[in-house]
Structure 1
């Protein structure tokens, strides 16, 4: 038996996309996401997603698409539409914006333009560890969305909660 699951976030995103195509004004309100605080102890904290406006339309579509995947579970090597690994999520989000980026976090870390941490804008890709082995998408206000690890859903976390910051790249 096959079942179809459409998350509330995904249905909401579809409504936003339809409204945007129709030229309507859309107001996004903060949503709550459950996320690991990054302390390694498995503690779960609640982080209210507070995305800021992206610098351009493609980055905004990528941010909105990534945020719409909150709650979808992590699966190594997955590229969506219902399961993701970290770079699968970022490549899926940018594909929705019409932008093709490399598939792996390592290759994504050399794509686009380097950005200083102090100059991050929504849509920028943020990388972790040496060598780079994890990527998330900055959404503004010190937060990022990412697919972290097995058994955890796509979630919003504070950028400062992530260990091993290795740099950032602006795709568009």
Structure 2
């Protein structure tokens, strides 16, 4: 047979294979991704719940991609099938609103606590804007912690977040401004009349003096008025509009601020070292003291942004334990966030782990992003604050922790 006839046949054959492969790849039920972490009955529950809420979209490539991204978080957070389905649906909603998974994945430990999809979208918006403005995680999480304690609606968190970002551009004292903001802002600002909301914004911006910031306020107010009291597809659409109309201007202000970074090379005086004997120098860790301090925390409930025995998150736990007077690590040495804690001390190989070392994990598709921190207790054990079970001690040899382990840092010179 002449070559000119063979070539079209071969091309048709190759195209058919590609179409067949692509069709089968995309038509495969997303629940196939769940089989290693959920049993058949649990997988069926997740699939049915997602189909009920998303319909034909449930088998789209986008849903399968999000499923694979959420799975590591779901295992770490011990999400039930219903909670997993809820998380998947809400993450789909935030992506529809123009908020990528990577911007709000830190919300997954809180996913079951939102009263509505709208509340989740507002909080996702706050996380997205905080990320774009490079608001330090410490202040982002403080605001989330206060919003939970004072039962703010999601819109109020968006409003407070924008004001906090602008206050940093104005170089106001962030701690003072945040304290004033959380003490005085009404918890349900979405319900205020337009005039009252505008007046409230003016009160919290009265010390903003730069002309650029002042010039931005009218557009910020207008956008906030258009965002509130919306639900469903109307909110999704308006969030997309908001990202185009306001975020670029608002977030460009945040780029000019002077940002805090943990001081890594501290002097002996900074570290509180006044005597190099083992009895006086905090750098000499007693395993018995570490175990005693950690035991006092076992069972403490998880609280996003918390750092006390009434509720703590992972980095709040590690910082509180290590700065306990019985261990005595200087507070100046220990940043608040897990990502900043991963920058102090010396990097340690897993095979060299000792009690007192900080151990880090990532549930994110971006494995360079630290999403969890705990304390090595020695003998392949570590203590940490789990969102599902509170403060517990687990084995580092469990598969999930082994797969998601990213490194360790040592701050103690000697362990005895």
Note the C-alpha offset of 1:68.
2.0
Q: Which has the higher contact order (CA 8 A, sep 6+)?
A: 1
Aligned to 1:109: 342
2:378 counterpart of 1:140 = yes
Note the C-alpha offset of 1:171.
1.5
RMSD: 2.3
Instruction: Render the CA deviation track for 1:125-168: whole Å, top value 9, x for unaligned.
Output: 1000121110010101111010021x422001101221410000
Instruction: Render the CA deviation track for 1:2-26: whole Å, top value 9, x for unaligned.
Output: xxxxxxxxxxxxxxxxxxxxxxxxx
Q: For 2:392 and 2:300, locate their aligned partners in 1 and report how far apart those are by CA, in whole Å.
A: 9
Q: For 1:156 and 1:61, locate their aligned partners in 2 and report how far apart those are by CA, in whole Å.
A: 16
Distance 1:114 1:56, change over 3 A: same
**1:125, 1:170 within 8 Å by CA — same for their partners in 2?**
yes
TM-score w.r.t. the length of structure 2 is: 0.28
Distance 1:107 1:63, change over 3 A: farther
Q: For 2:341 and 2:395, locate their aligned partners in 1 and report how far apart those are by CA, in whole Å.
A: 21
Q: For 1:106 and 1:39, locate their aligned partners in 2 and report how far apart those are by CA, in whole Å.
A: 19
Aligned to 2:404: 164
**2:285, 2:356 within 8 Å by CA — same for their partners in 1?**
no
Structure richer in helix, relative to its length = 2
Aligned to 2:319: 91
Instruction: Render the CA deviation track for 1:28-87: whole Å, top value 9, x for unaligned.
Output: xxxxxxxxx959576xxxxxxxxxxxx933665344322320111111100013311000
**1:85, 1:147 within 8 Å by CA — same for their partners in 2?**
yes
Distance 1:92 1:57, change over 3 A: same
1:122 partner SS: coil
2:323 partner SS: helix
**1:120, 1:138 within 8 Å by CA — same for their partners in 2?**
yes
Larger-Rg structure? 2
**2:349, 2:407 within 8 Å by CA — same for their partners in 1?**
yes
**1:125, 1:137 within 8 Å by CA — same for their partners in 2?**
yes
Runs (5+) with no aligned partner, structure 2: 1-74, 81-282
Distance 1:165 1:171, change over 3 A: same
